[in-house]
Structure 1
């Protein structure tokens, strides 16, 4: 079943990040994720605490119990929306390093280099990589806003659609590095992913679950890049050789 296979590809990334020759390329994306994700959650928790304290002071005593109801709701919203948005932003910053990690994972798996560019050529390619991240961000934001509104208008249907959208975006985000390394346009990449949607939703679902787990979510980014690259090698790379 493609959905299960997609999840397995993600979890294979845990083994890949420990392989000799790859660990040094994991370090920078991991450090970026730890610093940005950890510090943002710290400030977000403080903001929520202050916000709920302010709100609680406005409520009459007999409604103070609402604070305990709002906390779980706020946490769920953060886990399934903030995490996705933050992932997109973090990957924007880490894009050159994630692209390099994906390239080295493909070399490790296939024994073949993606390209023969030197360090200077790689540095010159950074603006193109960031432009690709901007394309993904423009693809994500309008849909995220629309589905987020639907989440509140039609809670049950909206939650299901939001979860499916989140899974899809995680797949798009992390699979794209391998496609981009081969200079395959974003539109073509999305079309290829739609041919095997089960793989994408399964992969994205695994990413979503682990992104929602404190501490574990700090290593999700390099694990997902590695797992997505293995998925690319097995399922999409043969079509472009």
Structure 2
């Protein structure tokens, strides 16, 4: 019997609630060493990306807006902040997807350790050797997520290229899209630890769509905010695992 005490008893929450439960969980002493590697990968990748982005953002937007016909000049004041936010969100999302791909085995291990804290029954305690053995399967799963994501992301990017209309509507559509994709990205770690296939995981998330969207929306927001997006990955993994234990674990068959 584990004597680890945790202030997070498995109980149903809102999507937002699971994100904040994840933040609380990530701070727990026994979990910090599992939080560290995903955090480090995220900080290095997203930190470098943001530095590059802020060095070039202004000139990119000026070029984009420069293509507008003169009679739409008044739109510049609306489009500038919308484009800045869209580029920031897109950049952050792209690099966080890349960071997730690289950190996937460590995120899976973190999800497993969080689940052991909350609901030890039915869990096999895996170590680093098991993690290494699981890497090919985990990376194949990450590739499956990318195959699901990329065509949709490309369609949205093409929408952004439509002058005026696309640039006005795309940020809102992009936010809804990333909310769902980030819910899938992070909730998949505990599902995958239990060898539940990708399509079954998606169907189960759809049954709790409002919670999944709420959880993903908060991750999406934090992913787009500089500095905060450096720490979002381990928090989201922990939050997704709390959601798995409270919402899905007992209905996984």
The two structures have a TM-score, normalised by structure 1, of 0.86
Separation in 1 of the partners of 2:248 and 2:75? 50
Separation in 2 of the partners of 1:181 and 1:151? 36
TM-superposed deviation, 1:161: 2.7
Which residue of 1 is the match for residue 173 of structure 2? 161
CA RMSD of aligned residues (A): 2.8
For the 8 Å contact 1:175–1:229, the answer to whether it is kept is yes
TM-superposed deviation, 1:189: 0.4
Which residue of 1 is the match for residue 216 of structure 2? 204
Separation in 1 of the partners of 2:180 and 2:75? 34
4+ long deviations beyond 6 Å: 52-56, 65-70
List gaps (5 residues or longer) in structure 1. 57-64
Separation in 1 of the partners of 2:189 and 2:161? 33
Q: Which moved more, 1:12-21 or 1:110-119?
A: 110-119
Which residue of 2 is the match for residue 217 of structure 1? 229
Q: Which moved more, 1:141-150 or 1:220-229?
A: 141-150
Deviations 1:146-197 (A, max 9, x none): 1232345444554433221110001000000000000111011001111110
Residue 238 (str. 1) matches residue 250 (str. 2): yes
TM-superposed deviation, 1:70: 6.7
For the 8 Å contact 2:49–2:91, the answer to whether it is kept is no
Which residue of 2 is the match for residue 30 of structure 1? 39
Deviations 1:39-79 (A, max 9, x none): 111122223356568899xxxxxxxx999877534421223
Separation in 2 of the partners of 1:31 and 1:118? 20
Which residue of 1 is the match for residue 89 of structure 2? 80
Query: Aligned with 2:56: secondary structure?
Result: helix
Separation in 1 of the partners of 2:101 and 2:132? 16
Which residue of 2 is the match for residue 89 of structure 1? 98
Q: How does 1:82-161 map to 2 (within 5 A)?
A: 82-112=91-121, 114-153=123-162, 154-155=165-166, 157-161=169-173
Paired residues, number: 233
Residue 171 (str. 1) matches residue 171 (str. 2): no
Separation in 1 of the partners of 2:59 and 2:90? 20
The two structures have a TM-score, normalised by structure 2, of 0.82
